Amino acid sequence: MEQYSEERQSVIDSAQWLLSQGYFGPELGTAGNVSVRIGDEKLIAITPSGCPYQNLVPDDICIVDFDQNVVSGTHRPSVETGMHLGVYEAREDVRAIVHTHQPFASILSIINEPIPPLFDDITMALGGGVEVVPYAMSGSVDLVQNVAKVVTNGCNAFIMQNHGALCLGATIEKATKNVAFLEKIAHVYYHALATGKKITQLPKEAVEMLIQLSKDKEGI
């Protein structure tokens, strides 16, 4: 059996579904990346750079160690590999990461607008709110540092200023689902902002209770 075949296929399944939903931009593009942590090893499986996601096969997925050395795979890993590794180092609970350029989260990224907690189910999935990670160039050390600093808030979705979005999860299925949750709340919030009317947020006590319920459900 091919080494790391399960993890590689899970990355492909996530990337291709996200592509089909328009979360990665143009169908022929590669505007985003997906990774999953491999067991207890200091390794991740991550999408390659410059390979159309609809054509991916398991051998295309890069296996990279925490020093960014490619230990398996023939392609160059995503330019955002350092960012993914920075998140894994900062958050032991995170087992999978998805970076997208999804439309409504990207709109909020260019107006530098965080999303407050608005709905029970999405707050349970994403955490107390969606913060904005300050801008830095793609693939830069500054971006790695900016992301690693903000994700310590324990939430599972973030807007990246003038860039896109970042979603995390305890499994790759949850990280992928959190992309959809983020786009739903970003869509609703954008249109709510456009009305110019007051936006009601969940009470602080409710947010704290929902976050604790989520932790209890996950056994954290």
Q: What is the pLDDT of residues 36-58, one digit of tens each?
A: 999 999 999 999 998 999 999 99
pLDDT of residue 1: 43
Candidate list 6, 41, 80, 173, residue with the active-site label: 80
Q: Give the residue from 59, 45, 48 showing the smallest Cα distance to 11.
A: 45
* Sequence ranges of the domains in the chain: 5-218
Fold of 5-218: L-fuculose-1-phosphate Aldolase (3.40.225)
Tell me if residue 80 is catalytic.
yes
pLDDT of residue 28: 62
What is residue 92's three-state secondary structure? Answer: coil
Residue 157 and residue 184 in contact, taking contact as beta carbons nearer than 8 Å: no
pLDDT of residue 27: 66
User: Which residues have CB under 8 Å from 157's CB, separation 6+?
Assistant: 126, 127, 130, 165, 166, 167, 168, 178, 181, 182
Residues of the chain with pLDDT under 70: 1, 26-30, 219-220
Question: What pTM was estimated for this model as a whole?
Answer: 0.94
Burial of 26 from C-beta contacts in 10 A (0-12 / 13-18 / 19+): exposed
pLDDT of residue 50: 87
